[in-house]
Amino acid sequence: MEYRVEHDSMGEVNVPADRYWGAQTQRSFENFKIGIEKIPMEVIRAFAILKKSAAIANNRLGKLDDRRMELIAKACDEILEGKLDGHFPLAVWQTGSGTQSNMNVNEVIANRGNELAGEKLLHPNDHSNMSQSSNDTFPTAMHIAAATAIEEQLFPSIDLLAGTFGRLMEENKGIVKTGRTHLQDATPITFAQEISGWKNMLEKSKEMLALSLDGLRELALGGTAVGTGLNAPEGFDTEVAKAVSELTGKTFKTAENKFHSLTSKDELVFAHGALKGLAANMMKIANDVRWLASGPRCGLGEIFIPENEPGSSIMPGKVNPTQCESVTMVAVQVMANDVAVGMAASQGNFELNVFMPVCIYNFLQSVRLLADSLVSFNNNCAAGIKANKEKMDENLNRSLMLVTCLNPYIGYENAAKTAKKAYKEGISLKEACIDLGFLTEEKFDEVFKPEQMV
């Protein structure tokens, strides 16, 4: 491999000749060979947005000339287009402030910009990082990445699955089945009503996530090192937030209190709580589906789901609810990530949080996993759900909890006696009720209407 010599304030470093990063990136790359987890590209893209926005703001405020602004903007555009993905090699497990990733972006922008210019016009600290500090850029990148991921990755996935449940509700109107509580038979419900619960879970989760976006749209940029705004011109914070909004088409604003935005990560904790809520809902939905599809002969068997893969290497013909299992594993991971995000956010010591890379890594993994798993579950399972009407009807008519509709006519205790007699002797509720003398056959038929119990 060929190398070139780069230097920083600590001296000279050999850097691969075909890479745009510089000395500080190389030092981090060599010093933190830990794990396989890299700073997510969503964060790098967010950095490109904020660096371009900072250049625009600095130019508007008279601190950066047009030529340098244009070069920074062009390099940032190439990052946003994915052309420079191979130039961001740093591990999550680096400095907790994300300083080395901030410098990675600064160095790539400067070196690529200089290449575009054909001369050395950009310095990573003096120009790429003008009016900034790692301490305000990394939390800003976190917020831009988090808000964008929720809106652009997760919301469409939620809408897709909610739409499928809406279709299934229409297709299954009028089908009455056994309701269940405590995994025990309960009073009847329509299948459409049951599906409506799943649909509303997704809608509620989306509402909570939308609420969390307000906090994520607040940017720390302009606070520089400790929140005082040292070395940033007057009005830079509002001007750069305006530029970010212009570039993204989304509304971002400068954080009112930079001392809070540098050291606290409570907006991410709040938003990830909503992600955990969605994960909990998906765990419930997936479990409902696999319980209802259990069988095919020795389980509930009330719905059919798509048969996608062989389920066993030893049992021929076995098919398993694999999409449900995938969703529930994702839910477990998101719940675990919530612990990591919360723990990381609690480590704001004095004027800075130094657990930021692990915080945003877990946050974005949760968004990515939920978005992908909802689409997979929708396309490979939910979209193909079919009601087994015969099994639903059979289970409904065998349910002892239909006796509840007799309460107004024979009372709770007599209804309980009827159910227990029917269960013990293996007879119908009608037979038990008549044998006990609580109702005549004619009266029983008149009041016993399971389809009216929904």
For residue 118, give Cα distances in angstroms to 51, 71, 110: 21, 11, 12
- DSSP states of 117-164 as a string? HTS----IIIIITTT--HHHHHHHHHHHHHHHHIIIIIHHHHHHHHHH
Per DSSP, what are the bridge partners of residue 12?
7
CA 74 to chain CA mean position, Å: 31
β-strand pairing of 348-349 with 11-16: unpaired
Cite the active site residues: 182, 312
Neighbour-count burial of 20, counting CB atoms closer than 10 A to its CB (0-12 exposed, 13-18 middle, 19+ buried): buried
Q: How far apart are CA 103 and CA 47, in angstroms?
A: 11
Report whether 94 contacts 28 (CB < 8 A).
yes
Per DSSP, what are the bridge partners of residue 444?
none
Q: How far apart are CA 344 and CA 4, in angstroms?
A: 37
If phi > 0 it is left, if psi is from -120 to 50 it is alpha, else beta; for residue 411 that is: left
Q: Residue 116 has which token pair? A: 């575009």
Q: Residue 206 has which token pair? A: 């989306």
Q: How far apart are CA 441 and CA 40, in angstroms?
A: 70
Q: How far apart are CA 123 and CA 129, in angstroms?
A: 9
Pick from 196, 125, 131: nearest CA to 166: 196
**Residue 198 contacts by C-beta under 8 Å, 6 or more apart in sequence?**
165, 285, 288
**Angle between helix 134-149 and 266-292 (nearest 10):** 30
Q: Residue 324 has which token pair? A: 């449900």
